[in-house]
Amino acid sequence: MPGKAKKTVPPDQGRKAAYVMRNRAALLHSTQEVLAVKGQAATIEDIAEHAQIAVSTVYKHFKDKDALISATILNAFAEWEAWAESFAMQSKDPLEQLVMPMRLFVRLNKTHPHHAQTLVNYFAVVARIVPQLQVKLIAHVTALNKAKFLKLDDPAAAARHFHAVITFAVIDQVTNTKATEKDADESVCAALALFGIPEAQAKKLAFAPLPKLNK
């Protein structure tokens, strides 16, 4: 039997879709910049003005402000994940690859202060999209468990609990002027018990020298 003919996208339609995606990406970055400066006081009008578009154009992409902020946070987190993973892949040790992004996450206020401040300012929004923010961590922990690097009865639950601990460690780094990087690493070290990692090994993973961090 002949194979099904592939659908072809008309050139004009393809160009339009690419144009819409570029505009959406630009809007998300503009929103990120406004949120970093104005926090919860930011309005759709502020964002539209900064992005140099009409307010009606914002609503063509997102139904309301919460949807725009949720998408902005998810986009920023995806960019951060790619950045963090570039450091994790410098190691060949599976557990170091797991822990490195976590150590970078608790340093979010240092490396990506706008992201950290947005997490604090819009925590109610963040709380609603937590399952999406945890997807890669759960998959990573599940894979390590399957490969016998971890021995967990419920790797997904362990990953969710771990994510909660380090998220609040980030918040502490933002809101507590006395919080130190050592405090951040201690949070990671303590949370590694959720993965059944022995204390001595957890300390080695959580306090190992970090590479030079460039954004």
Per-residue pLDDT, 208: 95
54 and 99 co-located in one domain? no
- Is 41 part of a structural domain of the chain? yes
Instruction: Give the model's pLDDT for residue 213.
Output: 82
DSSP letter for 193, please: G
Smallest Cα–Cα separation from 39: which of 103, 123, 140?
A: 123
Does residue 154 lie within any of the structural domains?
A: yes
Q: What is the pLDDT of residue 38?
A: 86
Q: Are residues 27 and 55 located together in one domain of the fold?
A: yes
Residue 3 lies in a domain: no
Residue 153 lies in a domain: yes
CATH code at 44? Answer: 1.10.10
pLDDT, tens only, 75-134: 999 999 999 999 999 999 999 999 999 999 999 999 999 899 899 989 988 999 999 999
- Establish if 67 belongs to a structural domain: no
Q: With a cut of 70, which residues of the chain have pLDDT below it?
A: 1-17, 19-20, 215
Report the candidate in 205, 209, 174, 208 with the shortest Cα–Cα distance to residue 190: 205
Number of domains, the chain: 2
Tell the residue number behind the tokens 């609040």, with chain if given.
168
Claim to verify: residue 121 and residue 199 sit in the same structural domain: yes
Handedness of CA 81, 83, 203, 118 (dihedral sign): negative
Same domain, 182 and 98: yes
Distance (Å, rounded) from C-alpha 64 to C-alpha 177?
A: 34
- Same domain assignment for residues 47 and 98: no
For residue 155, the enclosing domain spans 74-206
pLDDT of the residue at 19: 63
**Domain identity same for 47 and 152:** no
Q: Are residues 56 and 80 in the same domain?
A: no
Residue 55 lies in a domain: yes
**Residue 62 DSSP label:** -
Considering the domain architecture, whether residues 97 and 179 belong to the same structural domain is answered as yes
Residues 98 and 150 in one domain: yes
- Specify the pLDDT at position 103: 97
Say if 4 falls within a structural domain.
Answer: no
pTM summary value: 0.83
Domain-embedded: residue 69 = no
Cα–Cα distance for residue pair 208/191, rounded to 1 Å: 16
CA 112, 117, 118: angle at the middle one, nearest 5?
100
Q: Is 74 helix (H, G, I), strand (E, B) or coil?
A: helix
